[in-house]
Structure 1
């Protein structure tokens, strides 16, 4: 009987060592996880209703950028910017899509350019694009995130 009790005590003492595992440091785990994340890419690109049914990511991306460029072109290329800058055929527009689906448009001009009235061009963009169609924001790890990109927009179409 003493042998059974002794054997039980030995097993009990050694089995506790099996459960004595170190708990990983919380900050270390966080840093490892943050290093795994590619902060330059999103899981899902922003999207518009016209492109939602497309399954192929590359085609969906192209659809989205084509839709944005065409919609901006239709709204600003009609008269104002084309008349203000007749020598310009394309402008670059910085598009910001916020997590709440709000949009911001900012014309991008070269730093040494004095031919453009940046305030006037910005106000034209703001007024012409105020009621822009809804754009769903990009998603990163299940969370809606802010995205920005520069979009070339043709304002002078050759006839």
Structure 2
């Protein structure tokens, strides 16, 4: 009788624990697909940054610091430029900034579709010649990996 009492709890444990091993193991491809679908590809974990902004711990303030720095630096580099004299009606240029994973940065002016009044090739060449020797920008980070980011900044051309 003692053996039966001792055997009964052990047998219940073994029979129920076997069900733990009976679960279907997910396929590697299914797991990968599930993880890829969960990632928000439109947002990065960390925005691009410069050394001066990296000290800021608040993510929104760090992002704002970076965009303020970028806008003011572009404005300073274009401040004494011929764009103001060549195109006095042009007060703002939208610049598409691309930061690559290797920390390379490119700048492209964006013009409205009806911008026949501007020599877009000339403005593009002036912009690219003025925006050389740009301070180092650390690329954006997504899941621990540097990624390419693009954004458009409105740059106001100051009139004296």
State TM-score, norm by structure 2.
0.86
1:35-63 deviation per Cα after TM superposition (whole angstroms, max 9, x unaligned): 11111110001001121111111211111
1:59-90 deviation per Cα after TM superposition (whole angstroms, max 9, x unaligned): 11111111001100111231221122111111
Residue 26 of structure 2: aligned partner: 24
Pick from 40, 44, 47 the counterpart of residue 45 of structure 1: 47
Pick from 125, 131, 134 the counterpart of residue 132 of structure 1: 134
- Measured after TM superposition, the shift of residue 18 of structure 1 is 3.9
Residues in 2 aligned to 1:25 and 1:38: alpha-carbon distance in whole angstroms = 23
- Measured after TM superposition, the shift of residue 144 of structure 1 is 0.3
**1:88–1:156 contact (8 Å) kept in structure 2:** no
Q: How does 1:5-154 map to 2 (within 5 A)?
A: 14=15, 18-154=20-156
State TM-score, norm by structure 1.
0.86
1:9-44 deviation per Cα after TM superposition (whole angstroms, max 9, x unaligned): xx6x95655423322022221121111111111000
Structure 2, unaligned stretches of length 5 or more? none
User: Counterpart of 1:29 in 2: which secondary structure?
Assistant: helix
User: Counterpart of 1:106 in 2: which secondary structure?
Assistant: strand
**1:77–1:154 contact (8 Å) kept in structure 2:** no
What is the aligned-residue RMSD (CA, Å)? 2.2
Of the structure 1 ranges 140-149 and 71-80, higher mean CA displacement relative to structure 2 is found in 71-80
> Would you say how many aligned residue pairs link Structure 1 and Structure 2?
153
